[in-house]
A and B are shown apart, each in its own frame.
Chain A
Amino acid sequence: MMQLAGPNILVILTIFIGIVNLITPFISKEDSPVRSFFLIATSVSFLCNVLMLDYLFLNGIEPSFTILDFGKYSIALRLESLGMIFLNLLAVLWTCSLLYTIKFLAINEIKNSNRFLFFLNCCIMTGSFIALSANLFTMFIFYEMLTLFTIPLIVHSTNKKSTQGLFKYLKILMISALLLLLPAIIIIYVNTGGGNFVQGGFIAGHFKDSHAIILLLMMIFGTAKSALFPLHGWLPSAMVASYPVSALLHAVVVVKTGLFCTYKIIAYVFGITYLQTLFASYNWLVLFPIVTIIYSSFQVLRFNEIKMILAYSTINQLSIALLSAFLLSPKGFVAAVMHMISHSFSKVCMFYAAGNIYSVKNSYNLSELVGIKNTMPKTSFVMLIAGLSLIGIPPFAGFISKFYILLAAAEQNNFLVITILLISSLFTAAYVIKMLIFIYRPSSEHFILHLKLKPYFVEASENESTNRVTSSNYEAEKKLPIFMIISIILCLSGVVGFFFIQQVIVKFLGFI
């Protein structure tokens, strides 16, 4: 039974506000100002509530309550530092996602926006529950629910390609979770008598070292949302979905949930100290993300399709975050959390900028980006900043998290990790520069005048059947809805101002 107290009410209220957003699409008209207002206002209220929870948490109040109790297993929520960081990220990106998605659906004439927005909001809410989960059982339930809620988003446009993509997506995520993660959780519950997250872990002493390592591997590979090789294949397959869904999957909720669950397992189930003793002779845990990094680095250079490049880039960056976490040191853990946040902002910017370009011009390949800098200069600039952040150029977000990871690895004299990280940055630079060159390549006036834009973005005086630009100074992005621009600006400010955000993250992580 839930125990109602002041802080608990605030948590319930936060959840309730989030749930309101689920029904808003069904009680308002498609692309109406009323719907936009309610959705965004609700998400902003959610964010404000989360900020109030932050205040409570930083003042030592950690509300917790149980929703359903089945004896050993219970669905319970609790505020703790890692969860608060993830919840804050979700709250901020929810507002950005809604601002962007509402108008993206409208200008791209995507049908059934009610269903789309409902499941989008479900995904974010489920992510919030995962952030607040107090035990393994709760985490698992909502982890699986997240997989299910993303299904309608991936196959929103029902065609053969999206169905095939979905099949692969489900196959990998569900099978890995049911065959690896779930049995590991059951074993832990049976042997330890519970699964509540405890600072410093609770598993030490209950298993032999070899069994503990097997359990750890089962849980790491069971959370296939973190896209570790060879369970990474779902990510490129899921790219069949539209840009807001891809952003949601790759930057906002799904992959970050995978990372977050892995971090929670390391910090609150096993504990960093226990893991250090398990891997005292040699930390071969880092080899898994290293293999993934090398594999994804090679793969990303093959593609000219924008979405595939971004997919493998995500796999690469997730593995870097896991690499940092698998250093099994407090500094490595902090760096891993930093990288999770910095990557979210950078990748969201890239996806939304790519979504803008797609909305204006239907671009799928890199070669179709030529001429974009003339018609969409601000979007090109966002791609530039986000790209530089991914490479790790200061003073952007990517550099700060990379620097933390390098320091953590240097402290352990782990030159293998440092070398892999630097080589990975070089590969990242190669494909990001390739993308930026296509965007900023000088193009002749003749080329720009013959750019085929979507009808909505062609000047009014133009012959609409030809969909052509009248002058080389024409900025098609001026016709993009202001919400989409605001969304990108908010995400970009996260990339540029990450130096200040990282101070807050460090403060929260001080509680671990």
Chain B
Amino acid sequence: MYHHPAFIVLAFIVGLIATRKQEKIFRYIALFMPIAALISIYIMPPQVVFDLFKTGIIWDGSFYNKLIGFAFCIVLIAANLYSIGQNKKLEIILGSAYAASSLLCLFAGDFLSLFIGLELMMLFSSSIIFIGEGRFSIRSAKKYFITHFTSSSLILLGIVHIISKSKSLALISITSLMPNPEYSNVVLIMMLVGLLINIAAFPFSGWMVNYYQNASTSGFIYLISFTTKLSLLLILKLFSGLLALKYIGIMMILYASIKAILENNILKLLCYLSIMAMGLMLMGISIGSFVAINSVICYLFIHILYKASLSLCTVSVIDSTGIIDCSDLKKISNNTIVLSSIISIAMMISLPGTSALQIKSAISHLFSGDVFYLAPILLSLITVYSLPWKNCFKKHVASQRIMLNNYTRASLILMSFVLICVGLFGSKLLFLTNGTTFDYPVMFSFDSLKQLIIISLGFYLALKYKIKKFHTESINLIEWFGKIFLQLHSWWFSKSNEDPPITESWSIGSLEHQISTKLTVIHNQKTAIFIVFIVFLTILITLLLLA
């Protein structure tokens, strides 16, 4: 029990809270915490089962979970480093708690631990947005909480249904339950909808795009790293092989592509790019084969790392310059940021020579001979096109000088180093997670050439054709329903507060009013109590006499 990484992180969080006024110790704890979690993940046994007061709690230390757990811990180190540099202690505490609950959910082998992890994630992530100090942080945090509470409720609906039928808390593949008439498909689909809300699927992506940007810059790094990735993993564990996911995935890619092309806000752009990647992985999950699942997990691992790295670069620029719009970006004269960005973008666009290309190609080939084969192509093209290349290559414009503190520099260097190792030696590094290397039926030269063409095309289009970008808002159906409800609620109660018309009708209410105002003796407090007491005594005596 004590080896669970979530509890290790939790113990360190207690230390963080206790030492929040001692700078040095606080920093050491914040930095050592993810390392301790990493070690505990490495030594975690494949499965731990224990009976806590007749609840069968299961912790699943499988290879997949460990791989993603490693990614989470690396991101946590980088995020903590950055937050230390920004002197954001509350973000570190809340971000670490958010990471701990993600680890609890990640290694959950039973529905109860899974749900508890999800709820705690919701709580801590809402708090991170709440303390954002922006004009709309509080409102965003409230809407974020309600959105995720709705999704948790839908997930809970499915969980209690499955537990009541299966009489067990253990996680099971829900796709295999669907043909079983004992299980209600409607409820299982509601559970899927809950998870889809959590991965910001269309039409629920508003919670990520609209609200994340209202957190602080250091808070943004924590936020973008955990919820969507973990929920995708949960869909993989529970709903792999479900055909409908393919269509949902393509919808996510199409919707996020259009938005990404038009979006001017850097943070929102990062969110849209994330949604596109989620869409691709969702399509892979729909296949359900061993190759598909392996590819998706590895792509998710890389995605977590490069997205965190790119977010770090972005927020460093925002914090130093105050620029949040792509159109205001200039050439940056800071080697650390530039190099980190190049490495992250290289992984994001799956530059030939990186393991990202190998893995993405494996996912693409799952749809060979299918129209859905175009989806990864579209994703790569739009990713390249939507990035603000033109601003970075503007001639006759002075470059933006950015000074970084040591902690920010260290976090960028750490992420770059990890990405280089993963990018170049990805398959060989997997031995660290007790896993095996993976081979895919990838036509290396064909895929590299194809990718080069796509990247070049995207690059050319970005430089040649400029679309006017602006700030977009993404749809969140739950927010829409909430607004409609509140309108109806305020309309209904404003009407019912009007004075009723005076009518000459007999009603008990007016009779009572007449009696109570005119016969004051009954309305007198003491007399009323006395009368009631006498009545009570009379009845009691009568009953006793009758007995």
* Contact between A407 and B547, CB atoms less than 8 A apart: no
A415 in the interface (beta carbon within 8 A): yes
The residue that B138 contacts in the complex, of A302, A409, A422, A437, with Cβ under 8 A, is A437
Enumerate B488-547 residues with CB–CB distance to A below 8 Å: 489, 493, 523, 525, 528-529, 532-533, 535-536, 539-540, 543-544, 547
* Contact between B133 and A395, CB atoms less than 8 A apart: no
A403-B160, A409-B160, A442-B133 known; 17 new pairs, CB 8 Å cut-off, are A73-B543, A298-B489, A388-B123, A391-B149, A395-B116, A406-B156, A410-B161, A410-B163, A411-B164, A422-B157, A425-B149, A426-B150, A429-B145, A433-B142, A434-B142, A437-B138, A440-B130
A182 in the interface (beta carbon within 8 A): yes
A415 CA to B185 CA in the complex, in Å?
Answer: 13
Which B-chain residue is minimally distant from A412 (CB atoms)?
A: B164
* Contact between A441 and B116, CB atoms less than 8 A apart: no
A347: min CB distance to chain B, Å: 20
* Contact between B153 and A425, CB atoms less than 8 A apart: yes
* Contact between A163 and B525, CB atoms less than 8 A apart: yes
Which B-chain residue is minimally distant from A442 (CB atoms)?
A: B133
The residue that A415 contacts in the complex, of B119, B187, B539, B547, with Cβ under 8 A, is B187
The residue that B539 contacts in the complex, of A70, A182, A407, with Cβ under 8 A, is A182
A181: min CB distance to chain B, Å: 12
The residue that B116 contacts in the complex, of A163, A391, A394, with Cβ under 8 A, is A394
B115 in the interface (beta carbon within 8 A): yes
A272 CA to B291 CA in the complex, in Å?
Answer: 53
* Contact between A426 and B160, CB atoms less than 8 A apart: no
B161: min CB distance to chain A, Å: 5
B455: min CB distance to chain A, Å: 45
B543 contacts across to A, CB distance below 8 A: 73, 186
A163-204 CB mask vs B (1 if < 8 Å, else 0) is 100110010001000100010001000000000000000000
B133 contacts across to A, CB distance below 8 A: 442
A461 in the interface (beta carbon within 8 A): no
Enumerate B403-441 residues with CB–CB distance to A below 8 Å: none
B477 contacts across to A, CB distance below 8 A: none
Q: How many residues of B contact A (CB 8 A)?
A: 39
B141: min CB distance to chain A, Å: 8
A510 in the interface (beta carbon within 8 A): no
* Contact between B535 and A70, CB atoms less than 8 A apart: no
B146 in the interface (beta carbon within 8 A): yes
A155 CA to B543 CA in the complex, in Å?
Answer: 31
Main secondary structure of the interface of B (DSSP, over half): helix
A155 contacts across to B, CB distance below 8 A: 525
A148 in the interface (beta carbon within 8 A): yes
Which A-chain residue is minimally distant from B115 (CB atoms)?
A: A394
* Contact between B164 and A72, CB atoms less than 8 A apart: no
A146: min CB distance to chain B, Å: 12
* Contact between A73 and B547, CB atoms less than 8 A apart: yes
Known A71-B547, A406-B160; judge A170-B528 contact (CB<8 A). Answer: yes
B378 in the interface (beta carbon within 8 A): no
Q: How many residues of A contact B (CB 8 A)?
A: 50
A437 contacts across to B, CB distance below 8 A: 138, 141-142
A433 CA to B163 CA in the complex, in Å?
Answer: 30
A273: min CB distance to chain B, Å: 21
* Contact between B123 and A393, CB atoms less than 8 A apart: yes
* Contact between B146 and A426, CB atoms less than 8 A apart: yes
Which residues of A approach B to under 8 Å, CB–CB? Answer: 70-73, 141, 144, 148, 151, 155, 158, 163, 166-167, 170, 174, 178, 182, 186, 298, 301-302, 388, 391, 393-395, 399, 403, 406-407, 409-411, 413, 415, 418-419, 422, 425-426, 429-430, 433-434, 437, 440-442, 499, 503
The residue that A426 contacts in the complex, of B116, B153, B525, with Cβ under 8 A, is B153
Known A394-B119, A407-B160; judge A72-B150 contact (CB<8 A). Answer: no
Which A-chain residue is minimally distant from B516 (CB atoms)?
A: A167
A403 contacts across to B, CB distance below 8 A: 160
Which B-chain residue is minimally distant from A413 (CB atoms)?
A: B184
A168 CA to B300 CA in the complex, in Å?
Answer: 62
* Contact between A167 and B523, CB atoms less than 8 A apart: yes
B496: min CB distance to chain A, Å: 10
Known A155-B525, A301-B489; judge A72-B153 contact (CB<8 A). Answer: no
The residue that A499 contacts in the complex, of B53, B120, B123, B163, with Cβ under 8 A, is B53
13 residue pairs of the A-B complex, CB under 8 angstroms, read A70-B544, A144-B536, A148-B533, A163-B525, A167-B525, A301-B489, A394-B115, A399-B119, A403-B160, A409-B160, A411-B164, A415-B187, A433-B146
B532 contacts across to A, CB distance below 8 A: 148, 170, 174
Number of A-B residue pairs, CB cutoff 8 Å, is 89
A422 CA to B161 CA in the complex, in Å?
Answer: 14
Enumerate B135-162 residues with CB–CB distance to A below 8 Å: 138, 141-142, 145-146, 149-150, 153, 156-157, 160-161
Known A163-B525, A301-B489; judge A72-B149 contact (CB<8 A). Answer: no
A419 contacts across to B, CB distance below 8 A: 157
A453: min CB distance to chain B, Å: 24
A399 CA to B543 CA in the complex, in Å?
Answer: 45
A298 contacts across to B, CB distance below 8 A: 489
A406 CA to B115 CA in the complex, in Å?
Answer: 14
The residue that A407 contacts in the complex, of B163, B525, B529, with Cβ under 8 A, is B163
B533 contacts across to A, CB distance below 8 A: 148
B354-387 CB mask vs A (1 if < 8 Å, else 0) is 0000000000000000000000000000000000
Which A-chain residue is minimally distant from B493 (CB atoms)?
A: A302
B142 contacts across to A, CB distance below 8 A: 433-434, 437
B165-205 CB mask vs A (1 if < 8 Å, else 0) is 00000000000000000001001000000000000000000
A327: min CB distance to chain B, Å: 13
A441: min CB distance to chain B, Å: 6
A70 CA to B545 CA in the complex, in Å?
Answer: 9
A434 CA to B163 CA in the complex, in Å?
Answer: 33
B123 contacts across to A, CB distance below 8 A: 388, 393
Most chain-B CB neighbours within 10 Å: which of A302, A422, A434?
A: A422
A141 contacts across to B, CB distance below 8 A: 540
A73 CA to B540 CA in the complex, in Å?
Answer: 11
The residue that B164 contacts in the complex, of A71, A163, A410, A442, with Cβ under 8 A, is A410
Which B-chain residue is minimally distant from A155 (CB atoms)?
A: B525
A163 CA to B528 CA in the complex, in Å?
Answer: 11
A178 contacts across to B, CB distance below 8 A: 535-536, 539
* Contact between B120 and A394, CB atoms less than 8 A apart: yes
A73 CA to B546 CA in the complex, in Å?
Answer: 10
